[in-house]
């Protein structure tokens, strides 16, 4: 199906999950045969479908864990509306979704999609600045979930999002400025996130995610709130975090306990977290950052149970693989991963991360794969201890 709409150009119907929405025909916005979603009149990125599918599962998991009978979700940077409309269509007990976009054409398309799906009783649509909306709608709705899915960094919207979401609500955040967070532009990271990133090490990707969460945690602490990751992950070109927001002083106290710095010693490859926040422990320190778990084990278990009930998402290989890995690595998600190439350097040919994990487990050590990198794994042992075990195994 396709139709032409004034200002929006040619629209086509696409299906994501169980939801059919109208989006700009991206075939018309190709540059050198590559789709450029940012060139379309309204932003729609098909590469974010996995992000949206995992979000459906994560919000449903949150709803079940907190036994919520109704759910009010606000998506203040909604683009075509596809994300929020998937929530209406695919998550149990969603009573209200508030969709907003500052752009005229996005607003028009969201309203068209609401009509297209016949969900106007459950969806309210606004055309305001995201932060202004978040700060004002608190008097009208009790918001269980705020989903911040912007271009680039989410930080400009975090203050207002934290204000808007209720105590023990869920803050969902996407960051696509991965290059900044992994230290490719260190000065930008210092400006935007107030943290020193670590560049060009095999585990930069994990540290980038920890800096993102650490910055959100420090903003929460300004209000004496706390955040706790239920699930935080990396995929391809973005970070995504689902954070529980607690508004009691006890939540803020627990949150600050999970801030710290990374000390990296390139000589022996050791990577250690220290809880000296707010004082950096020395010149070899990176951060500040979140040093606690990135994935809550109970949440990851429930997430995989939820996936079992979503056949159409379970059949997506990437989604299933991620959910499985989140479950495997949750209990060790407070130790930084290492890669098989770091372990095997100078020991002859490389053996796979899965083989190393099996070997360590056979010897009774804690070890698991990680979703960050298929050549990486987590263990409580140090790099030199793992190297010793691997070299004995090979001889």
Ligand X SMILES: C[S@@+](CC[C@H](N)C(=O)[O-])C[C@H]1O[C@@H](n2cnc3c(N)ncnc32)[C@H](O)[C@@H]1O
From candidates 17, 24, 41, 79, binder to ligand X by CB under 6 A:
79
Given the complex with ligand X, which of 83 and 96 has the nearer CB atom?
83
Which candidate, 232, 211, 222, places its Cα nearest to that of 54? 232
From candidates 60, 90, 101, 144, binder to ligand X by CB under 6 A:
101
Query: Of the ranges 3-11, 79-87, 313-321, 379-387, which one interacts with ligand X (CB under 6 A)?
Result: 79-87
Integer Cα distance of 199 and 180 in angstroms: 10
Cβ atoms of residues 217 and 252 within 8 Å = no
In order of 68, 158, 330, the CA distances from 303 in angstroms are 16, 25, 12
Beta strand 19-24 with 30-31 is unpaired
Closest approach of ligand X to the CB of residue 122, in Å: 18
By the rule CB under 6 A, 78 interacts with ligand X? yes
Closest approach of ligand X to the CB of residue 360, in Å: 39
Which candidate, 124, 99, 112, 90, places its Cα nearest to that of 13? 112
Closest approach of ligand X to the CB of residue 8, in Å: 13
Closest approach of ligand X to the CB of residue 292, in Å: 27
Residue 126 parent element (H or E): strand 123-126
Integer Cα distance of 324 and 307 in angstroms: 10
The residue count for binding ligand X (CB under 6 A) is 21
Closest approach of ligand X to the CB of residue 66, in Å: 24
Which candidate, 224, 237, 219, places its Cα nearest to that of 152? 237
3-state DSSP assignment of residue 256: helix
Q: Six-digit token pair at 302?
A: 């429930």
Query: Of the ranges 71-79, 289-297, 348-356, 359-367, which one interacts with ligand X (CB under 6 A)?
Result: 71-79
What is the per-residue binding string for ligand X in 143-182, x denoting contact by CB under 6 A? ------xxx-------------------------------
By the rule CB under 6 A, 130 interacts with ligand X? yes
Tell me which residues touch ligand X (CB under 6 A).
43-44, 48, 52, 76-80, 82-83, 100-103, 106, 129-130, 149-151
């Amino acid at each position: 199906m396709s139709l032409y709409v004034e200002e929006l150009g040619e629209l086509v119907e696409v299906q994501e999950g169980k939801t059919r929405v109208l989006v700009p025909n991206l075939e018309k916005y190709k540059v050198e045969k590559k789709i450029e979603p940012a060139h379309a009149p309204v932003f729609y990125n098909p590469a974010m479908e996995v992000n949206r599918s995992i979000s459906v599962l994560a919000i449903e998991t949150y709803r079940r864990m907190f036994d919520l009978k109704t759910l009010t979700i606000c998506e203040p940077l909604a683009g075509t509306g596809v994300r929020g409309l998937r929530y209406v269509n695919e998550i149990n007990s969603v009573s209200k979704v508030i969709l907003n976009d500052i752009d005229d054409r996005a607003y028009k398309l969201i309203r068209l999609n609401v009509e297209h799906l016949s969900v106007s009783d459950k969806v309210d649509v606004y055309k305001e600045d995201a932060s202004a909306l978040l700060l004002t709608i608190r008097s009208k709705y009790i918001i269980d979930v705020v989903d911040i899915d912007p271009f680039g960094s989410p930080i400009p919207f975090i203050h207002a999002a934290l204000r808007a979401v209720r105590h023990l609500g869920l803050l969902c955040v996407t960051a696509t400025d991965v290059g900044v967070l992994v230290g490719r532009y260190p000065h930008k990271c210092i400006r935007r996130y107030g943290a020193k990133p670590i560049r060009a090490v095999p585990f930069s990707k994990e540290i980038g995610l920890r800096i993102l969460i650490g910055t959100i945690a420090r903003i929460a602490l300004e209000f004496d709130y706390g955040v706790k990751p239920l699930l935080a992950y990396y995929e391809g070109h973005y970070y995504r975090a689902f954070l529980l927001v607690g508004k009691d002083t006890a939540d803020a106290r627990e949150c600050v306990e999970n801030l710290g710095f990374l000390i990296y010693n390139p000589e022996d490859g050791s990577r250690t977290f220290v809880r000296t926040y707010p004082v950096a422990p020395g010149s070899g320190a990176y951060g500040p950052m979140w040093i606690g778990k990135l994935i809550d084990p109970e949440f990851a278990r429930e997430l995989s149970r939820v996936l079992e009930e979503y056949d159409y998402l379970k059949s997506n290989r990437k989604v299933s693989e991620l959910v499985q890995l989140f479950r495997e690595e949750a209990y060790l998600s407070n130790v930084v991963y290492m890669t098989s190439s770091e372990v095997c350097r100078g020991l002859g040919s490389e053996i796979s991360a899965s083989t190393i994990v099996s070997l360590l487990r056979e010897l009774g050590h804690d070890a698991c794969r990680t979703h960050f990198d298929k050549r990486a794994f987590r263990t409580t042992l140090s790099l030199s201890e793992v190297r010793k075990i691997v070299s004995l195994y090979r001889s």
